[in-house]
Structures are given as structure tokens and as C-alpha cells.
Amino acid sequence: MFGSFGPMEIGLILLIVLLVFGAGKLPEVGGAIGKSIKSFKKAIKEPDEIDVTPKNDKDKT
């Protein structure tokens, strides 16, 4: 499905993105997308953190 994009379709998508965000905002948008992909990959690779601190019932009085 996604492999059927030709050069015309990709060019049209890039033109629409350029019109929506403007030439000045494109580096910021690209950087934000890159940071979000990097943090997503990092979150997938890291194991889940488990809270192992003991609960003290006497402190709740």
C-alpha cells in the first residue's frame, strides 16, 4: 500500500507540507519529528521501571 508512492505523489506531499508550514519552519518541524522518533525508539528499548521501595503502614498515622 505505502510502497506504491511514486515521485509525483512524494513531490505533491512535500509541496503541501511546504505550503502549510513555510520554508522557515521546516527545520524546526524536522527536528521535532526526529526527536520524537528518537524518544519513541528509546522508550521501546528500555525495560519498564518497577517501584521496589517498601511501603510503611506506620507512616500513614
How confident is the prediction along the chain (61 residues), in pLDDT tens digits per residue? 566 888 899 899 889 988 888 888 888 988 999 999 999 998 888 777 777 788 776 655 5
**What residues have CB less than 8 Å from 29, skipping those under 6 apart?**
17, 21
Are the C-beta atoms of residues 26 and 18 closer than 8 Å to each other?
A: yes
Specify the pLDDT at position 60: 55
Specify the pLDDT at position 53: 80
The dihedrals phi and psi of 20, each to the nearest 5 degrees, come to -75, -50
Specify the pLDDT at position 57: 65
For the chain, the structural domain boundaries read 13-37
pTM of the predicted model as reported, rounded to 2 decimal places: 0.50
Measured distance CA(26)–CA(20) in Å, rounded: 10
